[in-house]
Amino acid sequence: MRIEDVYIWDINARWLGIEPTQLMENAGAGVARVIEERIGRGLKIAIFCGTGNNGGDGFVAARHLSYENDVVVFLIGDESKIRSEEARLNWRILKSLDFVKIRTLKDSSQIKELKLDDFDVIVDALLGAGTKGEPREPIRSAIEKINEYKGKAKIVSIDLPSGYPSKIRVNADFAVTFQWDKEEFEGFERVIVKIGYPRELNHLVGPAHVKFAYVRKGEHKGQNGKLLIIGGSENYYGAPLLAAKAAKHLVDLVFLLVPESVAEKIVDPDLIVRKVKGENLSSKHVNYALELAKKVDAIVLGPGIGLSDETREFVKELVERIDKPTVIDADGLKIVSEFKEILRSKNVILTPHAGEFKILFGEEVPEELTKRGELVKEKAKEFECTILLKGRYDVISDGEIWLYNKTGNRGMTTGGTGDVLAGTVGAFLSLRNSTIRAAAAGAFLVGFAGDLVMEEKGEAFTASDVVEKIPIALKKITEF
């Protein structure tokens, strides 16, 4: 697991109703328990706290340790700068206690004058895992002061040594880190403490997956995603349009490549429509599709594309030659099922429902969630792709991990919602996300938009209703 997963789990835990205050309480209590188990009781303990959540964990640890130890808390910085509500709550509690001494040190000169010779343990709760670069004053002086007592007192860091991985870091005897070891950590001893994350968070897709995927970096047109949607046929024109309408809310530019009979029915000034002659896409259109692909960041292939013989040739040749991240959906899935070996080493997301999954891989989808997740993971690994299996719970895997998404409702069985999902996943893919992050973010966002529609209209709604709610759903999620 990575440091980034800490933030994803914290946000998704809150979505489940697990408040940050609970997690901070469990973290601080865990630190206190480890210190008493490994070092003892009846100790004199100094706890250096910053103004972030790492400091908040230190406030909680101080309270727990104060029952059988003599505790002094050094707040490094201004108490008005304590950032989160849960840290401020625990600071207020700490200030109300008569048997915990508190000193606030706002200036490095005050820190340099400190004498810590009487302390048995020094706890470092200055900086958490999200800090980058070398620490600034007065935190830097606090780190240097703690390190002066290496070998004289036991030094314990909360989560990781403050300043890590820079050269200016606390030289801890060990760190108490939470829930799991992080793959970025090395060079210091870690003691892992569980803080109350449920098992679901190993697999659950939540709002954090959208928040981390929806990152707009550029300030000029086209810098925040360009997507090409390829589809439409003599029988279907609405599918590629629904995919494009969903995607346009997330990225700067959406191109549509469709047969001319489809293009005639599309009137939307937000979309860039490119048409080819004929009622269906065919192999003679592959080179043009590849030229368009050079201009975009990702592709969606399949909405409404049909199953004509000429289209089958088009899809096969395009997939063989394409080198852009691609979502394959709808009839595109049925076509690639005939030559799925070429999916290997392609940067591809497949978006089947249970019936399409059986066509693709020849296996029924199990009812039990864990078995379903393991099967999707197995097939994703075998064919070196990412699979988003649509259903009551969407299941997603890149062959390394599997995730599931709980947003969405029965009203979304209406035609066209799969096209909305394909366009949304393609949009996240064009924002340069990994395939599994794009698939997870797309599934959550579209399902949540559908849930907002259901709150308003009940189960009788259309795919277009879901599209209209995407901007509102995105705003609610990013503000969560």
Provide the residue range defining the domain that includes 91. 3-198
Q: What is the pLDDT of residue 224?
A: 93
What is the domain count for the chain? 2
- My answer on whether 188 and 224 are in the same domain is no
Looking at residue 415, its pLDDT comes to: 94
Pair 359, 318 in one domain: yes
List, in order, residues 6 or more apart from 234 with CB less than 8 Å away: 259, 261, 279, 280, 306, 308
Radius of gyration from C-alpha coordinates of the chain: 27
- For residues 328 and 416, membership in a common domain is answered with yes
Based on the domain organization, do 226 and 175 belong to the same domain? Answer: no
Q: How far apart are CA 281 and CA 234, in angstroms?
A: 9
Q: Are residues 19 and 126 in the same domain?
A: yes
Where a domain ends, among 149, 174, 198? 198
State yes or no: cis peptide before 138, omega within 30 of 0. Answer: yes
Q: Both 438 and 374 in a single domain?
A: yes
The total number of residues shown for the chain amounts to: 480
Cα 271 from Cα 263, distance rounded (Å): 11
d(CA 267, CA 260) in angstroms, rounded, equals 13
Which position has the token pair 């394909």? 422
Q: What is the pTM of this model?
A: 0.93
Residues in the chain, pLDDT under 50: none
- pLDDT value at residue 219: 76
Give the whole-angstrom CA distance, residue 66 versus residue 105: 21
Per DSSP bridges, beta strands 226-230 and 190-193 are unpaired
219: domain CATH number is 3.40.1190.20
Task: Indicate whether 211 and 190 sit together in one domain.
Answer: no
End position of a domain, from candidates 160, 179, 198:
198
User: What is the per-residue pLDDT for 471?
Assistant: 98
Same domain, 168 and 242: no
Q: Which of 84, 71, 76 is nearest to 35 (CA)?
A: 71
CA distance 303 to 228: 12
- State whether 189 and 213 are in the same domain: no
Q: What is the pLDDT of residue 2?
A: 79
Identify whether residues 42 and 184 lie together within a single domain: yes
Q: What is the distance between the alpha carbons of residues 18 and 21, in angstroms, rounded to a whole number?
A: 8
Task: Provide the pLDDT for residue 412.
Answer: 95
Residue that has been written with the tokens 């497949």 in this structure: 350
Instruction: Single out the residue in 198, 230, 263 at which a domain terminates.
Output: 198
What pLDDT score was predicted for residue 220?
Answer: 76
Strand ordering across the sheet containing 174-178:
100-105, 70-76, 44-49, 121-125, 154-158, 174-178, 190-193
| Cα(425)–Cα(20) distance, integer angstroms | 30
CB 312 within 8 A of CB 332: no
Residues 349 and 433 in one domain: yes
Closest alpha carbon to 318 in 301, 334, 306: 301
pLDDT tens string 10-58: 999 999 999 999 999 999 999 999 999 999 999 999 999 999 999 999 9
**Cβ atoms within 10 Å of 158's Cβ, excluding its own:** 33
- pLDDT score, position 4: 84
Could you tell me the CATH number of the domain that includes residue 71?
3.40.50.10260
| Cα–Cα distance measured from residue 416 to residue 412, given in angstroms and rounded to the nearest whole number | 9
- Same-domain check for residues 385 and 421: yes
Contact status, residue 146 vs residue 123, Cβ threshold 8 Å: no
Q: What is the pLDDT of residues 305-338, one digit of tens each?
A: 999 999 999 999 999 999 999 999 999 999 999 9
